[in-house]
Chains A and B, each alone.
Chain A
Amino acid sequence: MKFTAEQIIDKSAKWVISFFIASAGLWLLAAALLAYCAAAKLTDPFFLSTFEFFTYGKVKIAQANAFVYGWGGNSIFAVSIWIIARLAQAELRGRFLLIASGIIWNVGITLGLMGILDGHMNAHEMLEMPREIWPLLFISYSVIASFIIVTHRSRSKHETIAPQWFILASLLWFPALFIIAWNGLEINPARGTLQAVLSMWFGQSLIWLWLTPFALGVAYYLIPAITGRPIDKYYLAIFGFWCIALLAPWSVVHHLEGGPVPMWIPAIGTVMSIAMIFPIAVASTNFHATAFKDIDIVWNNLPLRFVIFGTLSYTISSYIGVVFSLPAVAKLTQFSIINEFHFNQRVYGFFSMIVFGAVYHMLPRITGKDIPVGAKSFHFWTSALGVLMLLLAYLIGGLTHGVLAQQPSLDWASSVIASIRPYFLITQIAFVILGFSQLVFVINIWKVLFPNPFQFLNNSSNDSAKNAVA
């Protein structure tokens, strides 16, 4: 029985990807639990308040880190490995080291989160984990990224296409950002609000230059792969890519509007985030013009449904984000819970949905077992409901928050906060729904990854060969 190239690649990557996806799923559940705790504390401040481990600030930050590094990191590794290997038409190299690095990455984050909850948090955005574990993260990441690049370099076709650019760029940007932040915040710390600029630059760039390009790359791969059509107006993709590369690192500091930094920093940030309209429009055109040529397939194919939900969410929310970066609007909403809208939109509405689509597309091919459509559909609807509830609550709540906060005569607690408490309740409910949907996701993938949990004791190695799917 002759195996196709895809089958060989999938087989070589099976254990590595399974490991990363399984870890990612567990981190997703951990983050969901922490998210629920945080949201519950906003509606009832006395929830778990006697435990010092679970003050609201710690839980919220732990959730953000678990989500971005744990779920985000592991799923980026899993999907990047697969897509790069597939597009390179090359077998995955260095499997043992990849899994070892993955274990170190997960151990590092676990220790980091324990450090946060134990009261050793830093004041740096998205780098709150204690500095002692940063080397672990950096080294394990570097090893994983190296092997992905090695796999990429052993490709047969010389030319590269959009998915590869975006995914490789995101892989390479993370260590660069990390080193810059590490140097500027810990090794050679900047004095005064320069630290705040760098901290914000890193925290936001992590989302814009690590999670976002990766997800865009995945969308550039999955949409043609599933629909069978090439990307519409593909020649624009290269412009879109370089615009993101040049503009995004500048645009992330617009949140410092009016702050204790020289005015040019948030001014440039605002201008560049307005300029980001162009690459957002390019990406949106590429994705939606291609996919909506056949509405049927978007609807019927679950992975594609997830991906298109993600890309639509990306487009709409990025445009909303541009509006909110304008100084006239930022005056009101800069410090409101609109920030939660932005963060959750990026990680839940866009990144997570695209990863769900990628995982559902990838796993049947790797493991040879399919996931029932009903289960995937259920996951989709609960996710969509949860995400929309969450985002609407934060959007409307954030606008209310901002508008009320600016009236000096309104007392803070009894007027401003009291008016947005109903929205906190809605987010709490949304997190319950999302947590439930994520549980469904994890169950779906575990059933496929480890159908007979104890079978590995028997060590049979020809499972995937028997049920190979192209």
Chain B
Amino acid sequence: MSDKNKMAPAKFDGMKDDDMVEIHSNLGREKHPPTKGFLVAPLIFVFVFGCLIFVCSIQLAHSTNSFQVHPPQEIVELTEEEKEALRLERKLDSGKKIFTSKCASCHQPNGLGIATQYPPLAGSEWVSANPELITKIILKGLKGEITVKGEKYGTSPAANMVAVPINDREIANVSTYVRNAWGNSASEVFESDVADIRRNTAGQNEQWIGEALQSEYLSGASTE
């Protein structure tokens, strides 16, 4: 029973079990027979195996997060200035969004308002004055005649500004934005200050009188 005979069966009557065990055991024991073209196959397998090991090692080194328990968190080290700049940038972004959604419908996205109806904010002395002013207006609203950049607004009792129902953080953000947009340049408004003003004016249910605020904050002694 040479192996050569078993390689080419005479008819398809299968292989007996004890023959199977014997033949395959022999095959397993022998080194591969040196027939032509046969050596190519194992080389291919060695190559494939090698590539796999290489690819897998790289993937393994890359994606195991050093066997840590917790997922990777990007920790970016910023200098103090960078942190401050980032904070301010986020505040202005937030303020812009609030402005667009709550204020722009009247004061317009370009801050120019509508003549005789809504005062402009760009270049307005009301905006750049003491931050208390803008905070108070947003908190409670404003009624009565006022003068902004030389023009009169609020001449009819109908044209008032209602209180904007947003929280302290949002007031601080939108005020800071308005005070620094369209060429304006004024100091930041802080949430804690807004909270103080809110607390101090808690009992007030009416809108501010425009004239009163105008005389308090804008009559010559403008403070930053």
A and B touch in the complex (CB under 8 A): yes
B12 touches A227 (CB 8 A): yes
For B62, give the chain A residue with the smallest CB separation.
Answer: A267
- Of B9, B17, B30, B49, the contact of A87 (CB 8 Å cutoff): B17
* Least Cβ–Cβ distance between A324 and chain B, in angstroms: 15
**B22 CB within 8 Å of chain A:** yes
Chain B residues with CB under 8 Å of A271's CB are 56, 59-60, 63
**A281 CB within 8 Å of chain B:** yes
A263 touches B56 (CB 8 A): no
Known: A161-B28, A224-B20, A227-B14. A262 touches B9 (CB 8 A): no
- Of A6, A228, A233, A274, the contact of B56 (CB 8 Å cutoff): A274
A161 touches B21 (CB 8 A): yes
Chain A residues with CB under 8 Å of B28's CB are 159, 161, 234-235, 237-238
**A329 CB within 8 Å of chain B:** no
The 8 A CB mask of A260-285 against B (1 = contact, 0 = none) is 00111001101110110110011001
Q: Tell me, in angstroms, the Cα distance from A271 to B56 when the chains sit together.
A: 5
A228 touches B12 (CB 8 A): yes
Known: A229-B9, A274-B56. A263 touches B22 (CB 8 A): no
Known: A262-B67, A263-B64, A281-B45. A228 touches B17 (CB 8 A): no
Chain B residues with CB under 8 Å of A161's CB are 20-21, 24-25, 28
B21 touches A159 (CB 8 A): yes
A235 touches B12 (CB 8 A): no
Q: Tell me, in angstroms, the Cα distance from A193 to B70 when the chains sit together.
A: 13
Chain A residues with CB under 8 Å of B70's CB are 262
Within 8 A of A (CB), among B18-54: 18, 20-25, 27-28, 30, 32, 41-42, 45, 48-49, 52-53
* Least Cβ–Cβ distance between A298 and chain B, in angstroms: 11
Q: Tell me, in angstroms, the Cα distance from A267 to B57 when the chains sit together.
A: 11
**B71 CB within 8 Å of chain A:** yes
**A385 CB within 8 Å of chain B:** no
Chain B residues with CB under 8 Å of A86's CB are 17
Known: A227-B9, A231-B24. A277 touches B52 (CB 8 A): yes
Chain A residues with CB under 8 Å of B9's CB are 227-229
Q: Tell me, in angstroms, the Cα distance from A270 to B60 when the chains sit together.
A: 9
**B68 CB within 8 Å of chain A:** yes
Q: Tell me, in angstroms, the Cα distance from A202 to B16 when the chains sit together.
A: 37
Chain B residues with CB under 8 Å of A285's CB are 41
- Of A234, A262, A264, A297, the contact of B24 (CB 8 Å cutoff): A234
**A327 CB within 8 Å of chain B:** yes
Chain B residues with CB under 8 Å of A225's CB are 14-15, 17, 20
Q: Which applies to chain B's interface (DSSP): helix, strand, loop or mixed?
A: helix
The 8 A CB mask of A280-305 against B (1 = contact, 0 = none) is 01100100000000100100010000
**B6 CB within 8 Å of chain A:** yes
**B224 CB within 8 Å of chain A:** no
**A180 CB within 8 Å of chain B:** no
Q: Tell me, in angstroms, the Cα distance from A467 to B24 when the chains sit together.
A: 30
* Least Cβ–Cβ distance between B2 and chain A, in angstroms: 13
A264 touches B64 (CB 8 A): yes
Chain B residues with CB under 8 Å of A282's CB are 45
Q: Tell me, in angstroms, the Cα distance from A57 to B16 when the chains sit together.
A: 47
A157, A162, A230, A294, most chain B CB atoms within 10 A: A230
Chain A residues with CB under 8 Å of B64's CB are 263-264, 267-268
**B183 CB within 8 Å of chain A:** no
* Least Cβ–Cβ distance between B46 and chain A, in angstroms: 10
For A158, give the chain B residue with the smallest CB separation.
Answer: B25
**B203 CB within 8 Å of chain A:** no
Task: Count B interface residues, CB 8 Å.
Answer: 42
The 8 A CB mask of A216-251 against B (1 = contact, 0 = none) is 000001001111111101111110000000000000
Known: A225-B15, A262-B69. A233 touches B24 (CB 8 A): no
Q: Tell me, in angstroms, the Cα distance from A87 to B27 when the chains sit together.
A: 16
**A89 CB within 8 Å of chain B:** yes
Known: A162-B24, A281-B45. A6 touches B17 (CB 8 A): yes
The 8 A CB mask of B57-94 against A (1 = contact, 0 = none) is 00110011111111110000000000000000000000
Q: Tell me, in angstroms, the Cα distance from A282 to B56 when the chains sit together.
A: 18
For A6, give the chain B residue with the smallest CB separation.
Answer: B17
Known: A87-B17, A224-B15, A226-B14. A263 touches B6 (CB 8 A): no
A263 touches B49 (CB 8 A): no
Chain B residues with CB under 8 Å of A268's CB are 60, 64
Q: Tell me, in angstroms, the Cα distance from A327 to B62 when the chains sit together.
A: 12
**B221 CB within 8 Å of chain A:** no
Q: Tell me, in angstroms, the Cα distance from A227 to B68 when the chains sit together.
A: 52
Chain B residues with CB under 8 Å of A236's CB are 42, 45
- Of B12, B25, B66, the contact of A157 (CB 8 Å cutoff): B25
* Least Cβ–Cβ distance between A357 and chain B, in angstroms: 13
Q: Tell me, in angstroms, the Cα distance from A229 to B49 when the chains sit together.
A: 27
* Least Cβ–Cβ distance between A193 and chain B, in angstroms: 11
- Of B16, B23, B63, the contact of A267 (CB 8 Å cutoff): B63
Q: Tell me, in angstroms, the Cα distance from A332 to B88 when the chains sit together.
A: 37
Q: Tell me, in angstroms, the Cα distance from A162 to B24 when the chains sit together.
A: 8
B20 touches A87 (CB 8 A): yes
For B32, give the chain A residue with the smallest CB separation.
Answer: A235
Chain B residues with CB under 8 Å of A224's CB are 15, 20, 23-24
Q: Tell me, in angstroms, the Cα distance from A97 to B182 when the chains sit together.
A: 91
A327 touches B63 (CB 8 A): yes
Q: Tell me, in angstroms, the Cα distance from A294 to B9 when the chains sit together.
A: 10
Chain A residues with CB under 8 Å of B21's CB are 87, 89, 157, 159-161
B55 touches A230 (CB 8 A): no
**B151 CB within 8 Å of chain A:** no
- Of A229, A234, A263, A274, the contact of B55 (CB 8 Å cutoff): A274
Chain B residues with CB under 8 Å of A237's CB are 28
Show 5 residue pairs from A and B whose CB-CB distance is below 8 angstroms, ordered by the A residue.
A86-B17, A228-B6, A236-B45, A267-B64, A270-B63
9 nearest CB pairs, A to B? A228-B9, A159-B25, A264-B64, A263-B65, A267-B63, A161-B24, A234-B27, A267-B64, A271-B56
* Sample of 5 more A-B contacts, CB < 8 Å, known A227-B15, A230-B20, A275-B53: A89-B17, A157-B25, A228-B14, A230-B15, A274-B59
